Chain A
Amino acid sequence: MFGKIGLLLLFAWVIIGAWMFEPPMSGVSNPEVYRIFYFHVPVALVTFMAYCLAMYHGLLYLRNRRLFDDKKSSTAALLGTIFCVLATVSGSIFARQTWGMYWNWDPRQTSIVVLLLTYLAYFSLRSAIADPLKKANLSAVYSILGFIAAVFTIFIWPRIAPGLHPGAPGDSTSGSFIVMSTKTWLVFGPSLLAFAGLYYWLYSLSLKISGLEEENLHV
């Protein structure tokens, strides 16, 4: 209960802080647009954490062979994919305001599509196998490979290929990077914590539901 109230308070602070302080970008014509940074970046980072959690439980499954670890791994990946979609949607709206188009095939935009397809294939694979043990084995291995793909697509590829995102080689906007001042951190830090907390809440509720559904089936 305290966790839920804490999370609500944290989100309330993020919303107030995101509007209250000056935008996290200066020296551009539309600094107000950059306030989306407080939502878009934490959602994208939580996506990465989710795929990391999916890989961790995949590894645990391969070690202990407990089907509950497979359930944890697939739940983490499913919620990660929902966050990935939200990061893509918020990112394309951000792109429309800053680069003029919803979709520019910037390396980071391309890589998020690759990541989404990778995990959509993961769920297709899971739905195609009826045997729970075989499904768990293949999913665990896939979750490890998927995480490697996530590291490459989120952190490596956008830094190698020239693009529009800050930090890309040849990026002409890198002079006006997001200003990570104390005030920016005061909103960004709690925002990251809040989205991670919300993710964890969704994750634990989903696991509880599958546990209860299984229990009800056996009654």
Chain B
Amino acid sequence: MSNFIPMIVSLLIWGVLWIYVFRLDRRVKELEKNA
């Protein structure tokens, strides 16, 4: 099982980046609505 930890962590990293992208995307939409 411990052999798979690095890959699982990598997927988490990947997830963090996607969450960040979606947060930024939502912020752009909010700002566009307010503009």
Q: Give the B-binding residues of A (Cβ under 8 A).
A: 11, 15, 18-19, 30, 32-33, 35-36, 38-40, 43, 82, 86, 89-90, 93-94, 97, 198, 201-202, 205-206, 208-209, 212-213, 215-216, 219
How many residue pairs link A and B with beta carbons under 8 A? The number is 72
Give bound CA distance, A32 to B6, whole Å: 9
Tell me the complex Cα distance, A213–B21, Å: 17
Apart from A93-B6, A93-B9, A205-B24, list 18 A-B contacts with CB within 8 A: A30-B3, A32-B3, A32-B4, A35-B7, A36-B6, A39-B13, A40-B6, A86-B13, A86-B16, A89-B13, A90-B10, A97-B2, A202-B21, A205-B21, A209-B28, A212-B32, A216-B35, A219-B35
User: Mostly helix, strand, loop or mixed at chain A's interface?
Assistant: helix
**Chain B residues, Cβ within 8 Å of A15:** 11, 14
In chain B, positions 16-34 with a C-beta closer than 8 Å to chain A are 16-18, 20-21, 24-25, 27-28, 31-32, 34
Given known contacts A90-B6, A97-B6, A209-B28, is B20 in contact with A202 (CB within 8 Å)? yes
A112 smallest CB distance to B (angstroms): 15
- Give the docked Cα–Cα distance between A15 and B6 (Å): 13
In angstroms, Cα B34 to Cα A213, docked, is: 10
Q: Which residue of B lies closest to A86 (CB)?
A: B13
B28 CB contacts on chain A under 8 angstroms: 205, 208-209, 212
A99 CB to nearest chain B CB (Å): 13
Chain A residue at smallest Cβ distance from B28: A208
List, in ascending order, chain B residues with CB within 8 A of A215's CB. 35
A212-B24 in contact (CB<8A): no
- Residues in A whose Cβ lies below 8 Å from that of B27: 205, 209
B12 CB to closest chain A CB, in angstroms?
9
Give Cα distance in the complex from A30 to B2, angstroms: 10
The residues of A that contact B9 with a CB separation of less than 8 Å are 36, 89-90, 93
